[in-house]
C-alpha cells in the first residue's frame, strides 16, 4: 500500500468516525479541553475517551492509551504511559463542581502486576454551555481497549487505525 493510499484510508476513517459522532458540540469541546490537560511523563500517549449518556447526564472517561512493542526481546509488551494532570486547570473547565473523588482500587483474582491496581479521579459538575457531567480520569485504559500506538524495534512509532 502506498503512502497516498494509506493517507486516503486514514481520511476516510476520520470522515466515517465524525459522521457517527452524536455528541453535542459543547461536549466535544469539553472532551478536547480535558484531553489537553494530560501531560505524559514518560514515552508518548494518545488520549482515549468514552462518552455515555443516561438520565443523570453524560459520563466521560478519559485515559492515556498504551503502546505495544513490536519485535525484539520485548515483543508484545504493553507499555502504559505515566502522566500528570493539573487538577486546578481541570476545575476551571467546570461552572461548578458538586463532587470530586479519587479512587485507588486493587483488583483481586487472576490479575497481577501493575494492571491489578486501578486509579481514578472522578469529577461531577456542570459544564459551561451544557449540562451535568461526570468526568472520570483513569490511571490506565480499560482492559478492553487495545494499544493505540505500536513501537517497532527500529524506533518507528505508528498509530493503530
Asked if residue 79 belongs to a domain, the reply is no
Is residue 78 within 8 A of residue 65, CB to CB? The reply is: no
For residue 93, pLDDT beyond 90: yes
Question: Which pTM value belongs to this model?
Answer: 0.72
Asked if residue 44 belongs to a domain, the reply is yes
Average model confidence (pLDDT) across the chain: 82
Amino acid 149: pLDDT: 66
Asked if residue 20 belongs to a domain, the reply is yes
Amino acid 113: pLDDT: 47
What lies within 8 Å, CB to CB, of 64 at 6+ separation is 38, 40, 45, 46, 47, 48, 80, 81, 83, 141
Amino acid 150: pLDDT: 67
Longest dimension (CA), the chain: 52
Q: Give mean pLDDT, residues 83-88.
A: 93
Amino acid 81: pLDDT: 77
CA 111 – CA 89 distance, rounded (Å): 34
pLDDT digits (tens, 9 = 90+) for 113-143: 445 558 899 999 999 988 899 999 998 887 7
Amino acid 65: pLDDT: 79
Asked if residue 34 belongs to a domain, the reply is yes
Least confident among 38-47, 71-80, 124-133, 144-153: 144-153
Q: What is the domain extent for residue 98?
A: 3-63+84-140
Asked if residue 132 belongs to a domain, the reply is yes
Asked if residue 71 belongs to a domain, the reply is no
> Is residue 36 very low, low, confident or very high in pLDDT (cuts 50, 70, 90)?
very high
Asked if residue 68 belongs to a domain, the reply is no
Amino acid at each position: 500500500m502506498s503512502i497516498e493510499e494509506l493517507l486516503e484510508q486514514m481520511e476516510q476513517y476520520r470522515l466515517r468516525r465524525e459522521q457517527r459522532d452524536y455528541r453535542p458540540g459543547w461536549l466535544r469541546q469539553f472532551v478536547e479541553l480535558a484531553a489537553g490537560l494530560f501531560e505524559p511523563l514518560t514515552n508518548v500517549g494518545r488520549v482515549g475517551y468514552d462518552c455515555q449518556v443516561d438520565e443523570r447526564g453524560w459520563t466521560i472517561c478519559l485515559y492515556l492509551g498504551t503502546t505495544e512493542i513490536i519485535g525484539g526481546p520485548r515483543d508484545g509488551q504493553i507499555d502504559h504511559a505515566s502522566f500528570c494532570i493539573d487538577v486546578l486547570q481541570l476545575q476551571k473547565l467546570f461552572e461548578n463542581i458538586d463532587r470530586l473523588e479519587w479512587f485507588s482500587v486493587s483488583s483481586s483474582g487472576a490479575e497481577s502486576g501493575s494492571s491489578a491496581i486501578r486509579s481514578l479521579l472522578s469529577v461531577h459538575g456542570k459544564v459551561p454551555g451544557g449540562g451535568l457531567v461526570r468526568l472520570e480520569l483513569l490511571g490506565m485504559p480499560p482492559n478492553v481497549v487495545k494499544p493505540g500506538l505500536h513501537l517497532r524495534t527500529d524506533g518507528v512509532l505508528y498509530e493503530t487505525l
